[in-house]
Chains A and B, each alone.
Chain A
């Protein structure tokens, strides 16, 4: 079944998506696993992995939204101007940081109270009937840069399934400028579209004056620059929704009505091209608008291609939610740096937050 089993082995999407097995009073059902922390509620199931240092599974209405655990994002595929002004020669270590990162610690708070020891044998004291109003889990990461920097990412899940994400990069003296900083979510299959409320078109901090506020829908394609490069950033976004109609799951039969709710009774089908109706996942601003991109390729894939046709077949969705975006510049393409206000210092902290919307 061409590669779809892997995911299925980790988690059988459809069978595991339940409404709370008993009425927990509208609370989260918490599974204090040996390796993971499971949080379940009406129409959603989340699994945070201590081993994989992140949110390993995000299921909504039976649809898995994560391919691998989200990671801090430190790289954008060089723009022609980045190349021309030698940005990679100064900041290339962030490419490695983007590709490789160590999870260095996890903390969990249940209803505001930290639970120090979670895995076995300490978790033997828990049962199959654990409930909470909100659970927060924080992952600490250390970059492979020299010197190393730390990033703290916390997810606070409330009973309606909303996930408040707080991201904090701790700057370090001597670290070079960053091309971006954010969180990257890779989704198992390719999105069909992405709606957002923000500015029209592809915008960057130094190229957004012409962006017109509104609600827009984009196809999630790579902007076809002659040489593939970073693209598709949308500044000043209030929310965006990723829309998918395929899943990797092999299950085509015996799907419960709950699992297919909202999909007009169509069965979810396997990764051989079947459609699953349309599912949406919504990301929202909390205090401030944010920047994001929704593309079918990673920065590394874009970086490696010298022509559009060299990009691999688009098969996933790469969503980046940014706390900082470097401008594109353009005074020339052979030396002029991006103007100072639009550069991102690696020496200063970057903190931002957003929310993955709950079940309405």
Chain B
């Protein structure tokens, strides 16, 4: 297959040759089976596709004019292309007139909208590497944990694949083309594609390879995907455990006689369950009752340890897969005419915060230490829930949430705010994804990737369809997907409040943002259909967060009011050297000659951009502590 630049313009092409999304489990064998490709890459910047070095992926291409760039990182922070912060407006507002493909009969010029744009920068990345010894002679894939916003991949001159959906892993099989030494991995990253319509989040608009790039080698037999079922029965005592795995084998055929040994232990190491299953393409352990289990929640995030060991008939181990397992039950139950969200049989109260991934020096490219610091801030301030806004976070974050008992609203990478809200008014005349059939698969695929990647995390109580994307058949299709894939969690979406025709098909809860207490009362006093949450509230811009008490007292008055997520966790501002003094200073939208901009509107955290605490945090700590 050959790469086609027009995929940038076509909403129906968003993944080519990518491996199906799968659980984020780790695995190990006797030798290391992964190899980081982070570090310096060769790099060439072009302002548009026409000007890019089109054949740069050919192994003998003359790359003597290439620069080097650090991976992971944003291209803008490496000095190429302008930093730009803008909220709801699409980033090309005032520069280019664009309408999404298929949105209206009179706009048929979308076919070159991105591939033919005068301004749509391209980063051409090349990494030359030898395979580590432990990865040789095995099936090898490459995983890009995050690349904005569209990418083409080649290895040793052969086209490998194409991916969008910037914030979830994109993985490609390299086995056919990889060599032990002298591999040439080429990645062409485009700043914008049709994905730009779906990634209109309120943030700095970056592009580039901004999360880890890793090679993975697969043992002869490998767990491609594992779905753990760790339910709690209605009695909120009895655990039910099962699992379903998809296995792959070198050469395509599983060896005869091997087995998958499944051992579930409690945190102290006592075996709770031990089973052995024959290896099969789809290996399934039917759900079994475990008796009384220790529950997982914010106060006691108790995790069991599952180990799956794949071995051949002689007991020789292929690989071992460890998975953390938590037993908990999230449901909406009607009691006394009130529909209430219960966690483990008790009313759930969300003392939450929205969290962008951010570091003032490196943007949305954040380190483990940043995440561990953030987790400490959550715990110390009685914040029990997080909404990764508005995209999936780095893989590591979800495991930290499991371990620390943080309830996660797992948001799909979707926001199309500028397509339906203009100058504050509602105008969905060219809303995407809306109900346009050509945009449906792109967003359902984003939902699927979100679910498949993170499904084993007990911390996730809700799947969220995304943020501020209005409502139509395609959002309804995402909702239906989650419902079909996972009957153990709830589905969240706020945007349906702007199009109530879909409210019976979208979102298990009434979710609003920035509703005033009296509006919440009005909903809850008038035969409410769904439990109520605020997916965003208390806009902590600058010196703010006054009046939190008026929301907290609603928790006492209405059982169906179940809390919310403060906007937001950390100011998004960038540290640069002051051109006047040479001192480090924090800059925001408009400070890079970027226009139009929304200026300081990205500074709404309970932390400053340098992660120091804002004074308002003590108010959060007080109220959230009272309702812990």
Could you tell me the distance between the alpha carbons of A333 and B537 in the complex, rounded to whole angstroms? 11
Contact of B544 among A81, A211, A339 (CB under 8 A): A81
Q: Does B473 contact A (CB under 8 A)?
A: no
Q: Does B622 contact A (CB under 8 A)?
A: yes
Is the beta-carbon distance between A210 and B618 smaller than 8 angstroms?
Answer: yes
* Residue on B nearest A309 in the bound complex, by CB: B585
- Count of residues in A whose CB is under 8 Å from the partner chain: 39
Residues of A with C-beta under 8 A to B422:
none
Residues of B with C-beta under 8 A to A214:
none
| Interface window among A110-118, A154-162, A224-232 | A224-232
Is the beta-carbon distance between A207 and B616 smaller than 8 angstroms?
Answer: yes
Residues of A with C-beta under 8 A to B393:
none
Is the beta-carbon distance between B603 and A225 smaller than 8 angstroms?
Answer: yes
| Interface window among B176-184, B249-257, B397-405, B576-584 | B576-584
CB contact list, B576-606 vs A, under 8 A? 578, 580-581, 583, 585-588, 591, 600-601, 603-604
Is the beta-carbon distance between B541 and A207 smaller than 8 angstroms?
Answer: no
Is the beta-carbon distance between B547 and A339 smaller than 8 angstroms?
Answer: yes
Is the beta-carbon distance between B615 and A331 smaller than 8 angstroms?
Answer: no
Could you tell me the distance between the alpha carbons of A210 and B620 in the complex, rounded to whole angstroms? 7
Q: Does A223 contact B (CB under 8 A)?
A: yes
Is the beta-carbon distance between A338 and B622 smaller than 8 angstroms?
Answer: no
Residues of B with C-beta under 8 A to A207:
545-548, 616, 619
Q: Is the interface of B mostly helix, strand, loop or mixed?
A: loop
Q: Does A299 contact B (CB under 8 A)?
A: no
Contact of A308 among B516, B537, B544, B585 (CB under 8 A): B585
Could you tell me the distance between the alpha carbons of A84 and B541 in the complex, rounded to whole angstroms? 10
Q: Does A202 contact B (CB under 8 A)?
A: yes
Kindly count the residue-residue contacts between A and B in the assembled complex, taking CB atoms under 8 Å apart: 124
Q: Does A290 contact B (CB under 8 A)?
A: no
Could you tell me the distance between the alpha carbons of A339 and B573 in the complex, rounded to whole angstroms? 29
Cβ distance A302 to chain B, nearest Cβ, rounded Å: 11
Interface flags, A320-360, vs B, CB<8A=1, else 0 = 00000001111111001011001000000000000000000
Could you tell me the distance between the alpha carbons of A298 and B604 in the complex, rounded to whole angstroms? 24
Is the beta-carbon distance between A79 and B580 smaller than 8 angstroms?
Answer: no
Could you tell me the distance between the alpha carbons of A330 and B544 in the complex, rounded to whole angstroms? 5
Q: Does B491 contact A (CB under 8 A)?
A: no
Residues of B with C-beta under 8 A to A307:
585-587, 591
A309-B550 contact, Cβ under 8 Å, with A80-B542, A210-B618, A226-B571: no
Q: Does A50 contact B (CB under 8 A)?
A: no
Could you tell me the distance between the alpha carbons of A329 and B591 in the complex, rounded to whole angstroms? 27
Q: Does A200 contact B (CB under 8 A)?
A: yes
A201-B618 contact, Cβ under 8 Å, with A309-B581, A333-B544: yes
Is the beta-carbon distance between B542 and A331 smaller than 8 angstroms?
Answer: no
Residues of A with C-beta under 8 A to B580:
309
Interface flags, A194-234, vs B, CB<8A=1, else 0 = 00000011111111111110000000000111110111000
Is the beta-carbon distance between B547 and A330 smaller than 8 angstroms?
Answer: yes
Contact of B514 among A80, A308, A327, A332 (CB under 8 A): A332
Residues of A with C-beta under 8 A to B247:
none
Residues of B with C-beta under 8 A to A225:
542-543, 603
Q: Which 10 A-B pairs have the closest CB atoms?
A: A210-B622, A206-B546, A80-B542, A202-B615, A330-B544, A226-B603, A328-B546, A210-B618, A210-B619, A333-B541
17 new A-B contacts at CB < 8 Å, known A84-B541, A207-B545, A330-B548: A81-B541, A81-B543, A200-B618, A209-B623, A223-B543, A223-B614, A225-B603, A309-B578, A309-B583, A330-B539, A330-B544, A332-B514, A333-B604, A338-B546, A339-B550, A342-B546, A342-B547
Query: Can you sample 8 A-B contacts with CB below 8 Å?
Result: A211-B618, A223-B615, A226-B600, A227-B603, A330-B545, A333-B541, A336-B514, A342-B547
Q: B-contacting residues of A (Cβ < 8 Å)?
A: 79-81, 84, 200-212, 223-227, 229-231, 307-309, 327-333, 336, 338-339, 342
